[in-house]
Structure 1
Amino acid sequence: MKASGSVENAAETYLRFADIAYQRSFTHVPRTWQVCYVANELSQPDLWLVDLRTKARRPITQFKDRSVRAFWIADDARTVAIQADVGDERPSLYLADLHDAPSGLRAAPLPDGFRLVAGGAGFLSGTYRLALMLANNQTGTIAAGSLNVLTGKVEVSWDRGGALVPVAIAAGGEALILRGAASNLDSNLYFLDPGLSQPRLLTPHTGECRSEVVDRIFSDSLLPVITDIDAEFSYLAEIDLHSGSTTTVLRVDQDVESAVRLSGGRFLCSVNEAGYSGLLLCDPHGRHPAKVDVPRGVITEMFSGTTPEGRQLIGLGLATPGHPPDLLVAMADHELGAVDWAPVVASRRSPTPRPVIWPESVELGGVPCLLYRPDQAPSAHVPVLISFHGGPEAQERPAFSYNGLYQALLAHGIAVVAPNVSGSTGHGKSYRKRIYGDWGGIDAREATALLDALDELPWCAGTTRGLFGVSYGGFLALTLAALQGRRRVHAVAVLNAPSDLVTLVDELPPAWRTFAARWIGHSKRSAAEIAARSPFQMLGPEFPPLLLVHGGFDARVPATQSVRLHEKATGAGVRSQLVVADGGHGLTRNEEWRSTFSTTAAYFVDHLV
């Protein structure tokens, strides 16, 4: 156990790494040189507006108790609808004028008996009607439709079965593309025209496949999509809305993750290249894809727009291990060979105590991992933290993980191993599907093999081990800790983690229960098997020291999961700390994640160094 001064220094180190404002959800304001985005420069994620030429920026919202989740800009280039919540995933809708904000922010009118479930594709062309998904509190039905944000009038497009979310709108018309998800692995796209009696399926398939639209506006009969139908990796395709036929545009042995359409029918595509992002430029037929220069890192999103002079610009968010996503822009009116990506918003940051450390890709115990090693002599023996990502359908990538937590731990001599166990994305659909219905099975075996492999590495053999995870990753960290005990694991910290699979499904919102039962494994395993895979049931007096952090508003994994685990741990004589935060399933307000991850950094330095 270290002295309190050392623990305080670890927290301060984290805050120096974390003193950076991130940007996300970039959207071009039509026919202007302006871009809207969400950033945490104030106390929580707010909507901001920046001029690309002058770099001048200002907040559009200044919420004190809620976070901006999404926003949509009308064709008048000044009316913006904003979705925000306090972390409980019960969103409210607000209106602002980009010319006058932050003054004049107001709640959007909603008729009695309706509530917003989720935003959608944006404003129908030339109108103030926002395409979204609404719940009718009287009938209990979920409807895809439109809300006139000025009058509060609702027009229902489809409310007869299935939760279909509007994801794209026709330019110059009222046709919609709807998306329906049967599971994390299976989704469909539908075309709904005012003249049709019901949505028309666009993505028929067998098995489990996912499809997403490329852009929220489609301007002709060809709809660009990213899909993995009949493929191991996702690819770019176009669906003919008249004939229903699908034509492949770009297909490579890696996931195509996002794309923007450029002039001449070209596409600029972001490709997952072993965790890093690459850019490929291709013609409408996918011929002769050419690499486009992009800084090393992870592309979080892409967009395109047209300036008042008719020039096309492209923008992207780029994250690195030492920096959250920055907004980079470039003009697209050339061949895009060597692109001069220009940062728009200069992120603030304090001097970091050590240079940023980039990971190396390794395989440990047969599991692909990112390995971050402290900047020390090669012969130095160092402790190791294993960090399991959430999802489980996500991927550890060389980005700014947990707002700088990894870099802060590295500065204090702790190595970080970030595995991509079965269920992770980026390694093909078959790898992603392995975890389906098998939580606590193949993932636990792989995590154990990873722990065994670390014991064979000379630079960390015999040193202390810590486990960390968020959401599903927390479940896996708790599982491994219960299996191995404090003989091999010396500290565990988890955030919003499910711990009792037996009770979890019944505690979820009704609409999620059937899906979760299939996803976790209830639908094909006995109650006894599910209990045997639950950390709550497995916990005993040999469980290592435990830090539990949970959002009190969490609608996905109720905080009772951590409360009951803490009570059982303390009753078994295990050292356990419980922190119930104000947020939901994800930390959004600055004080939430600063407090949580500075505490986590101090906790691991205290127990591992």
Structure 2
Amino acid sequence: MSSDRAAAPHRRWRADALAIWLLLPALAAAAPLVPGPQLIADGIPSFEEHAAAAREEPSAPRFVGWHPLRTEMLVLARSGTRTQLHVLDGPQLKRRALTTGADPVNNAQWEPARGDYLVFSRDHGGDEAYRLFRLQPGSGPALATPVAITPADARVSDFEFLPGRDKAPAGLVYLLEQLDRQVAKAGERVSVTRLMWVDPQQPALARQLGEVRGGRFTSLRVTAGGAIVVTRIQGGRSQLLRFGLDGAEPRLVGAAAKVGDAGDLAIEGDDSGEDGAQLLWQRQAAQGDFRHVQRLDVDSGRRDALLTDIPADLEALAVPRGAGLPLALVHNEAGVSVLRLWQPGGSAPQRIDAALAAGVITNPRWHPSLPLLAFGHASASSPGRIYVYDKSKAVMQVWAGAEGDDAREPTEYTTLRWKSFDGLEISGLHIAPPARFKGPRPVYVSIHGGPASQSRPGYLAKGLYQLVNELGMHVILPNVRGSEGFGKRFVNLDNGRQREDSVRDISALLDLIAGRADMDATKVVVAGGSYGGYMSLAVAVRESARIAGSICRVGIANFVSFLENTESYRRDNRRAEYGDERDPEMRAFLQQISPLTHASAVKKPLFVVHGRNDPRVPYGEAQAMVQAVRAAGTPVWFLTAEDEGHSFTGKGNREFLQQASFEFVRRLVNGQPLQPVQTAAP
């Protein structure tokens, strides 16, 4: 059904909404909250803005990278309605904006020799079709104009400068992926990735170094001699290919390695050994159940697994450019990031994060020429800070913190554990409501996406915090089978025909809730995004009698149509996780377990949220599920964003979604009618 027909019943409301949106500052605080001009609120009744929900969520800066010569860093932070690129000259100094626009910046790198200019990536309307731009920041207050250096009809999935050191760099290497819209007229939908070289100052001279059709290059890293990429081959194995800059055939680096669906083979950096050998550092579960650091000699192909005695996943590592500095290792220990420094061949790793609250560390990176290690850190008390560890002084310093923090009380997490249908122990994080809420309280179950992701003890999102402190709800963040952080075996327990076993893990959680005196098992709301959106729909089908309602954000409704319509560059990876829909038996199985097949079993209210430009889970998944559930007589709220993709990044869109979600849950747990509006089918 066409999108024009879907939107027709709402054109007048959207026009009125635009007028009201422009007048919002002049309206009284108790006036009804209306969606912004890019939102379609279908079947969602009018509701008033909630004072607590109206408070702006703290904006956390994200560390991107160091300048090659100066003590300054690139930072992504909210500017206006979207995330933009800034430069930070030192600790606690005011950031200087480098970009503006309607679309957020995704990543950036300085030219590595002198830092005369930088290259950044951004998509359009949340479509994840990232394009590269060159930017030469000026010295005045006016922002410089970016120059596009890659085509608009393809997707850059990764990019990296070749080492510049003390001379002019040899250019930039990037991975360019074909989009389905490029070949839609010809009817050929196949994954194509090209390895490209370009001089960012002469983009017209870009040339191809390699190509894979029906597959994908990932994990791009560069050495002085060229580029190294990972590509998956038959039998669930991946191999490393080394490409020179001369366009010659690539060379295989070492032997192909068996990898799990969690992608445990990941290139993290490269360095030169004392004898001049090119060394590549990786994270891989080569021995045992967890990822460890692995050293690979690029020339000989020899692999050495190191520090295998640490019983935790290595989730990140930073390789220094200069000699004498240690590797920085980040391990996931029971969901908490642990940061250590380690000199290969030296003593045991030294933990250096004692001054940090328990939380999650991201993107550790050494300065190219100074003993400074930067990284991001989020915890229950902060949505995100940027820290710098000075190795020469053994001092940890905050460079930037969140803006708009409402100084709320830190969230207190505890761990829930329960046995699933097959005796497997499942765990999740639990946040209890304040003591002022007496008696059995409602429960909100929030399921992470991925599927190979993990709920961790970071800063609780404003919407969840509001449920705990205003509605007095228990919030449970389960880590069902298939979640990362518990070893390779656990992460593969939901693959293929085992898919519904993870749904049964939530059924077992509902059993736990029913047996607790402090929880009201008659008022359970289940929610999730992406894969968590599928889980919320699957629970709504399987456990409709035991929940009060569910929220599905950008979720899979039908595995077959999802696999057939997701972007081709993603399809093979998703088939490895969910199953190949081209096989008749697997196709029948995927149809049978899809929530859309059993939409009539959804008897409790449903809230569906989706971005029109989502390249991962096509918008049609939401349309089909909404239509089928409404046809069975169950009320559905349906929120569409025409300028978003797989997530809501625009400030106004995000805030309306948060308040609408709160209102949906509030009405469910208070027994109030949802006031469904009868509209044309989407």
Residue in structure 2 matched with residue 376 of structure 1 by the alignment: 435
| Post-superposition offset of 1:464 | 0.7
Q: Match for 1:264: what amino acid?
A: G
**How many correspondences in the alignment?**
592
**Aligned residue among 135, 146, 149 for 1:106:** 146
Task: Give the Cα separation in 1 of the matches to 2:92 and 2:578.
Answer: 50
Q: 1:544 aligned to 586, 598, 604, which one?
A: 604
Residue 221 (str. 1) matches residue 278 (str. 2): yes
Point out where structure 1 has 5 or more consecutive residues left out of the alignment.
none
Q: Per-residue deviation at 1:221?
A: 1.6
Report the equivalent of 1:73. Answer: 110
Distance in structure 1 (CA, Å) of the matches to 2:483 and 2:236: 12
1:597 aligns with 2:658: yes
Aligned positions of 1:416-495 closer than 5 A: 416-438=475-497, 440-485=499-544, 487-495=545-553
Pairing of 1:137-536 with structure 2 (within 5 A): 141-152=192-203, 153-159=205-211, 161=213, 162-165=215-218, 167-170=220-223, 173-181=224-232, 187-194=238-245, 197-202=249-254, 204-206=256-258, 208=260, 210-215=264-269, 221-251=278-308, 252-261=310-319, 264-285=324-345, 287-292=347-352, 293=354, 294-306=356-368, 311-334=370-393, 336=394, 340-351=395-406, 355-365=409-419, 366-376=425-435, 380-401=439-460, 403-412=461-470, 413-438=472-497, 440-485=499-544, 487-522=545-580, 525-536=585-596
Change (3 A) 1:134 1:530: closer
SS in 2 for 1:298: strand
Amino acid of the structure 1 residue aligned with 2:226: A
Separation in 2, partners of 1:180, 1:277: 29
RMSD: 2.9
Q: Check whether the contact 2:279–2:297 (CA below 8 A) recurs between aligned residues.
A: yes
Deviation at 1:49, TM superposition (A): 0.5
Q: Structure 1, residues 3-36: CA drift from partner, whole Å, max 9, x if none?
A: 99999788443443x5211222420111111100
Shift of 1:461: 4.2
Q: How far apart, CA to CA, are the structure 2 residues paired with 1:351 and 1:149? A: 42
Residue 247 of structure 1 and its aligned partner are, at CA, apart by: 1.8
Cα–Cα, structure 1 residues 88 and 369, in superposed 2: closer, same or farther, change >3 Å? same
Structure 2 Cα separation of the partners of residues 15 and 430 of structure 1: 43
Matched, 1:38 2:81: no
Looking at structure 1, the residues matched to 380 and 236 of structure 2 have their Cα atoms a distance apart, in angstroms, of 28
Question: Structure 2: how far apart are the matches of 1:154 and 1:472?
Answer: 37
**Partner Cα distance (1:56, 1:367) in 2:** 44
Q: Aligned to 1:464, what secondary structure does the other structure show?
A: strand
CA–CA distance in structure 2, aligned partners of residues 205 and 537 of structure 1: 38
CA distance in 2, matches of 1:298, 1:9: 35
Q: Alpha-carbon deviation of 1:444?
A: 1.4
Contact (CA 8 Å) 1:381, 1:459: kept in 2 or not? yes
3-state SS of 1:544 partner: coil
Tell me how far apart the structure 2 counterparts of residues 373 and 176 of structure 1 sit (CA, whole Å).
Answer: 50
**C-alpha deviation, 1:160, in angstroms:** 5.0
Distance apart, 1:589 and its partner CA: 2.1
Amino acid at match of 2:176: L
CA contact (8 A) 1:169 1:218 kept: no
Deviation at 1:572, TM superposition (A): 1.1
In structure 2, what is the equivalent of residue 608 of structure 1?
A: 669
- How far did 1:592 drift? 2.5
Superposition deviation, residue 346 in structure 1: 3.3
1:584 has 2:635 as partner = no
**For the residues of structure 2 that align with 1:5 and 1:185, how far apart are their CA atoms?**
53
Contact 1:122 1:169 in 2 (8 A): yes
CA shift in 2, pair 1:166/1:280, >3 Å: closer
Q: Deviations over 1:146-205 (max 9, x none)?
A: 1222211112221255432462222xx342121224699864433333476313234522
Partners of 1:203 and 1:265 lie apart in 2 by 29
State the TM-score, normalized to the length of structure 1: 0.90
The residue type equivalent to 1:397 in the other structure is R
User: Quick check: 2:388–2:398 contact (8 Å CA) kept in 1?
Assistant: yes
Return the offset for 1:348: 1.7
C-alpha spacing 1:232/1:5, structure 2 compared with 1 (3 Å): same
Tell me, what secondary structure is at the counterpart of 2:143?
A: coil
**Which AA in structure 1 matches 2:335?**
G
Paired residues for 1:82-101 under 5 Å: 82-86=120-124, 87-100=126-139
Give me the whole-angstrom Cα distance separating, in 2, the residues matched to 1:184 and 1:551. 35
Structure 1 range deviating more: 133-142 or 87-96: 133-142
What aligned pairs does 1:548-587 form with structure 2 within 5 A after superposition?
A: 548-581=608-641, 582-587=643-648
| Residues 271 and 279 in structure 2, CA contact (< 8 A), matched pair in contact too | no
CA distance in structure 1 between the partners assigned to 2:601 and 2:228 by the alignment: 54
**How far is 1:128 from its partner?**
6.6
Q: Does 1:119 align with 2:158?
A: yes
> Displacement, 1:286?
6.3
Which moved further from structure 2: 254-263 or 265-274?
254-263
Deviates more, 1:45-54 or 1:250-259: 45-54
Residue aligned with 1:155, SS: strand
Q: Percent identity?
A: 19
Aligned residues of 1:440 and 1:476 also touching (Cα < 8 A): no
Give the partner amino acid of 2:72. Q
Cα shift at 1:475: 0.5
TM-score for the superposition, normalised by structure 2? 0.80
Q: Which runs of 5+ in 2 are unaligned?
A: 1-29, 34-45, 420-424, 671-682
- Give the letter aligned to residue 404 of structure 2: R
Could you report, residue by residue, the CA deviation over 1:434-456 in whole angstroms, capped at 9, with x for unpaired residues? 11113642111111111111101
Letter in 2 for 1:549: V
